[in-house]
Amino acid sequence: MDKQSCTITGCTPQRFKFKYNEEAPLCQAIKAAIAEEIKRLYTEGVKLFYVGCAVGVDTWAAETVLDLKKQANFADIELFCAIAFPEQTDRFTAGQKKRNQHILSQCTYKEVINNHFSPVAYKRLNYYMIDRSQHLIAVYDQDKSERSGLVQTVNYAIKKNLHITFIHPDTAQKSDYTP
């Protein structure tokens, strides 16, 4: 795909002060920051947004893109759902599975990246999305001492010279990294 694109990722819900409470003011502020950044990138020519279909940030970003697509001035925005492996949702709650199924039924593109779970399945997923993007939105506090797939993904995006917008998970404040 030759379109300008952006990957959206973030820390897991357990990392947030509000955990899974999406009604919490901080969660609402993070969702608003994600939406604001998607809209800003869209006005700059980014039409395709990648998510990895995880619970939390990926779900919120996907739902934001799908909500924007319903508006006439965002009609050509596209959502690409990259799925780590076929059983990715096996540990989701019933509600999380229902949201995921709705997203997958409405997205523009979807692709399963690995045939089955393996220790590197999520790394391959994240690298797949970064390799196809020029931008990254990361809900991440930039704690370099942390060891996680999110840190690995951000470091790979830096190596690939992506423009990165960080949204802090404790404040919803944005900061930019430009190569």
- Show pLDDT as tens, one digit a residue, over the chain (179 residues): 468 999 999 998 999 999 999 999 999 999 999 999 999 999 999 999 999 999 999 999 999 999 999 999 999 999 999 999 999 999 999 999 999 999 999 999 999 999 999 999 999 999 999 999 999 999 999 876 666 889 999 999 999 999 999 999 999 999 999 88
37 conformational bin, left if phi > 0, alpha if psi -120 to 50, beta if neither: alpha
Cα within 13 Å of Cα(170), Cβ side: 4
* CA pair distance 68, 103, nearest whole angstrom: 13
What is the dotted CATH code of the domain comprising 5-177? 3.40.50.450
Q: Please, are residues 113 and 124 in contact by the beta-carbon 8 Å criterion? A: yes
* CA pair distance 136, 163, nearest whole angstrom: 6
Question: What proportions of the chain, in percent to the nearest 5, are helix, strand and coil?
Answer: 45, 20, 40
The pLDDT of residue 53 is 96
Closest listed residue to residue 62, CA positions, set 22, 11, 105, 116: 105
Closest listed residue to residue 168, CA positions, set 56, 58, 16, 41: 16
